[in-house]
Amino acid sequence: MIVAIDGPAGAGKSTVAQRLAERLGFRYLDTGAMYRALTWLAISRSVPLAQGERLGELAEEYPVILDAQRRVWIADTDVTSSIRKSDIDRLVPVVARHPQVRSVMRARQRELAEEGDVVIEGRDIGTVVAPDAEVKVYLNAERAVRAKRRMAERPEIGADALATDLRLRDESDAARMRPAEDAIQIDTTGLDVDDVVDQIEELVRARQPA
Ligand code: DC
């Protein structure tokens, strides 16, 4: 079974998707980490982020590896913590918007999804990567709450800079942030992680054979 979890930054996707995967005994696939790792590699090799063709080739040549310990690897380098920095937050939408990059990433994501029993989080999972996913969820939350959650993850950035970053990121991600027509939408503004996970788990159990 494939569980697709989409939504904007700060909606709670990662925490919810990881906890859900643990409860269900499913694998967890963080597609944002794949775009982040490619962005890290492009910067470290001084590849201009406007060059979609070159970035697509880079993605092809250096597949991102997400290991069982949830570490993220690219070009034999463990980039797990480097990809969670604010410079990557800011630059990843520039990389993720190139069609050449998306086509390589989506093909790889589909391959990984085909292995089955997986919770996949991203922006375009229910719409493009896995339109046949048995369970599709679109998480959202008020922007002020999303900013607050980001603040907890990136205490080094000031609140104002963070709010601006989030707004810019929403704008650049907007083209890909459409909920699938058959997605269940959950507003996580006033909910605990476990409440959200409970709701999705129920959807999954209802679709699992008895
Ligand atoms: O979820 P995240 O913040 O780690 O995502 C990082 C960036 O990658 C974000 O700008 C949106 C982009 N992204 C995407 O375009 N498609 C995906 N399936 C996942 C992430």
Least Cα distance to 165 among 180, 177, 176, 154 occurs for 154
Look at residue 39 in the predicted model and tell me its pLDDT: 98
Protein residue with its CA nearest to atom 13 in ligand 1: 32
Whether pTM exceeds 0.85:
yes
User: Could you report the per-residue pLDDT of 114-158, keeping only the tens digit for each?
Assistant: 988 999 999 999 999 999 999 999 999 998 888 888 878 887 777
Protein residue with its CA nearest to atom 9 in ligand 1: 93
CA of residue 173 to ligand 1 center, whole Å: 8
In DSSP terms, 121 is beta-bridged to: 5, 30
CA dist., res. 17 & res. 200, Å (int): 10
Pocket-testing residue among 5, 92, 154, ligand 1, by greatest number of atoms within 8 A of Cβ? 92
Tokens representing 4 are 């697709």
pLDDT greater than 80 at residue 33: yes
CA dist., res. 3 & res. 126, Å (int): 9
Pocket-testing residue among 87, 100, 119, 123, ligand 1, by greatest number of atoms within 8 A of Cβ? 123
User: Could you report the per-residue pLDDT of 69-110, keeping only the tens digit for each?
Assistant: 999 999 999 999 999 998 998 899 999 999 999 999 999 999
Atom of ligand 1 nearest to the CA of 35: 8
Domains in the chain (CATH in brackets) are 1-26+117-199 (3.40.50.300), 29-86+94-115 (3.40.50.300)
Q: In what order do the strands lie in the sheet with 27-30?
A: 27-30, 118-122, 2-6, 135-140, 184-187
Q: Is the dihedral of CA 88, 136, 24, 146 positive or negative?
A: positive
Cβ-proximal residues to 32 (8 Å cutoff; 6+ apart), any chain? 14, 92, 121, 122, 123
Pocket-testing residue among 31, 70, 121, ligand 1, by greatest number of atoms within 8 A of Cβ? 31
